[in-house]
Structure 1
Amino acid sequence: MAEAILEAHGLVKHYPLTRGVLFRKEVGSVKAVDGVDFTLHRGDTLGIVGESGCGKSTVARMLVNLERPTAGCIKYKGEDITRLSGRALKAVRRNIQMVFQDPYTSLNPRMTVGDIIGEPYEIHPEAAPRGDRRRRVQELLDVVGLNPEYINRYPHQFSGGQRQRIGIARGLALRPEVIVADEPVSALDVSVQAQVINLMDRLQSEFDLSYVFIAHDLSIVRHISDRVAVMYLGRIVERGRDTEIYDHPTHPYTQALLSAVPVPDPEARERRERIILTGDVPSPTNVPSGCRFRTRCWKARDVCAEEVPLLAVPARLREPGGPAGHESACHFAEEKQVVAAEAR
């Protein structure tokens, strides 16, 4: 087992809801993240998937300390970084970088590409001598597949895929050990998505990177991830290796997500059982009791409203080495083949 480079334990983020103008009173909270645990090993990719609003991006912002957690801790190489500040936090941030979702708004339109990619060197001058920075930036442009001569161009002169490559180059500038990619391909065309995913896959081995890859498309996550965590309404509901989650899902929510993945084979698409969820995602200000998914689940029983299911390997699926024997937060977890073998 490789070294655990990044860990989250009991990660919680609640945003207070207040009322009043002069005398503000807290009347509730938005439970964006409500108890998330995971471990990222060196050289691996952890994929986090789920619907919009499930808390994926909030987790990403907490991992790079753009948001402070309400409770829980984040450990980098065993050190709790949520308690750090000043120089100690700055040193850790150099090793944990982020690639943002929108390639159009994440780049400053008034800065050249050279200034954007070289900005980390202004914050961490020890990473590159001042006279060597232009060469370093041109090398990074070449690494991500862009012409080094584009260094004096502005973001509006690039396509969406090229802008995301610039964002990746900026993330690589300080030679980090961990990159948190928050839906880095969701705003791109399908053909460009494949190019960016293949680029990130190549860079991982070239720079010895560990990824936290966030997306809502399970097919993309499977292509790049070693382990997958499925989130619903602020919590992880299923977790395991990519083959376990994709080929042997046990949680009803994961099965519903997989049934919505487009299948290129018309015959396999006809044979696949489509799972249509009823109702809307509950509000994070008023989450259901017990299992949070029960209001949309076809397996829901009385126990689902009374007891919170633990994220653990279901007793009935605990076969030694069995692919269905992975963690699932469901009282009635059972394996269900959703994606036909021909479509995998």
Structure 2
Amino acid sequence: MAPTTEPILEVGGLVKHYPLTRGVVFRKHEGAVKAVDGVDFALGRGETLGIVGESGCGKSTVAKLLCHLERPTAGAIRFKGEDITRLSGRALKAVRRNIQMVFQDPYTSLNPRMTVGDIVGEPYDIHPEAAPKGERRRRVQELLDVVGLDPEYINRYPHQFSGGQRQRIGIARGLALRPEVIVADEPVSALDVSVQAQVVNLLDRLQAEFDLSYVFIAHDLSIVRHISDRVGVMYLGRIVEIGRDAEIYDHPTHPYTQALLSAVPVPDPEAREHRERILLAGDVPSPTNIPSGCRFRTRCWKAQERCAREVPALAVPAVFRDTRGPAAHDSACHFAEEKRVVPPEEGPPRSGTPGRANGDGPG
């Protein structure tokens, strides 16, 4: 499923295996943890791609690989057509300026010994060409104002802020170098529900204001739908279904996606009573011993002999290739079929303009 705009980031065959060894002097290789095992997607300019899946499926490892915090075992990550996995030194430093990250935990991602001004302004020490020394304080105050914090907070320390405010500081730090791509690794999972809405709406507004492209990683399906243009569903190191948000949520074709959506809380009691709940059998297989063929087959109610022999390709299923409906999107299943498991979404569009962070004041 191609992005709706010109691709700015393209990922092909991305693999990250962590070797398992035994012994101290004579190390013996006993296998590998296959955290990411062949991921492909493209991110369009100005687009938000949401990535969802169970804990341990490889979402955060993908985020680290995109920001070059980890080196891939194989595959390519192309930013504006250039494979950044082959870069080093100054060339890599220049690319990193354009791909920034917002971390999951606002409590551990900020140095408690540094003031807010030092935290947000630290990227200018690494990339001094981005802001002259005489203008850095003003730039930091402008960034704090942009994310909804009082610019006078510049001399405060992280412990003087709530979780929502700390995450706003992390977002301001990510914006400091005016990047083109932001990788948000579960940026609201550690926050209260009301604060989650404020931060998600803030990210939505900043995307239009700064012309950003997002890779938004989360396990909360409702939040991902609120902010994403397209959604990719990961299972055990691979993307098993990808498409536009309405295609994935209203017309899922992969059994795993259908099971995930059936677990989403529904506020309407009547709709909740009539929806089908899909319960998966067994546990997620170990990433050190991935099943042959389709890796979801050990928990799938549709599994047949073919699923153990053949690895399903991530493509439009044959049954939908001659149609133009919303079910005609990429799905890695031999027996894909459309199934509605949640009621249609109703309510206002996914835009919002948050004001100051009054609802999540200092803790």
Is the partner of 2:94 in helix, strand or coil?
A: helix
Whether contact under 8 Å (1:48, 1:231) holds in the other structure is: yes
Give yes or no for the alignment of 1:56 onto 2:59: yes
Matched letter for residue 20 of structure 1? G
Bigger shift: residues 119-128 or 316-325: 316-325
> Which position in structure 1 is the counterpart of 2:117?
114
Deviation at 1:278, TM superposition (A): 1.3
Deviations 1:105-160 (A, max 9, x none): 00000000000000000000000010100000000000000010000000011000
> Which position in structure 2 is the counterpart of 1:197?
200
Matched letter for residue 86 of structure 2? R
Give yes or no for the alignment of 1:206 onto 2:209: yes
> Which position in structure 2 is the counterpart of 1:163?
166
Is the partner of 1:175 in helix, strand or coil?
A: coil
Matches within 5 A, 1:124-273: 124-273=127-276
Deviations 1:267-318 (A, max 9, x none): 1111111111111100000001111011111111111111111111011112
Is the partner of 1:274 in helix, strand or coil?
A: coil
C-alpha distance in 1 between matches for 2:182 and 2:344? 32
C-alpha distance in 2 between matches for 1:342 and 1:30? 38
Deviation at 1:326, TM superposition (A): 0.4
Matched letter for residue 309 of structure 1? P
Deviation at 1:16, TM superposition (A): 0.2
> Which position in structure 1 is the counterpart of 2:71?
68
Among 276, 279, 283, the residue aligned to 1:280: 283
Matched letter for residue 149 of structure 1? E
- Overall identity of the aligned pairs, in %: 85
Whether contact under 8 Å (1:98, 1:179) holds in the other structure is: yes
Q: Calculate the TM-score normalised by the size of structure 2.
A: 0.94
C-alpha distance in 1 between matches for 2:35 and 2:118? 34
Deviation at 1:206, TM superposition (A): 0.2
Provide runs of 4+ in structure 1 moved above 4 Å: none
Whether contact under 8 Å (1:265, 1:343) holds in the other structure is: no
Bigger shift: residues 311-320 or 221-230: 311-320
Bigger shift: residues 35-44 or 314-323: 314-323
Deviations 1:51-102 (A, max 9, x none): 0000000000000000000000100000000000000000000000000000
> Which position in structure 2 is the counterpart of 1:291?
294
Deviation at 1:262, TM superposition (A): 1.0
Computed over aligned residues only, the root mean square deviation of the Cα atoms, in angstroms, reads: 0.9
> Which position in structure 2 is the counterpart of 1:303?
306
C-alpha distance in 2 between matches for 1:118 and 1:256? 44
> Which position in structure 1 is the counterpart of 2:332?
329
Whether contact under 8 Å (1:230, 1:254) holds in the other structure is: yes
Q: Calculate the TM-score normalised by the size of structure 1.
A: 0.99
Give the count of matched residue pairs: 344
Gaps of 5+ in 2: 348-363
C-alpha distance in 1 between matches for 2:23 and 2:214? 43
Whether contact under 8 Å (1:33, 1:59) holds in the other structure is: yes
Among 32, 35, 38, the residue aligned to 1:35: 38
C-alpha distance in 1 between matches for 2:147 and 2:121? 15
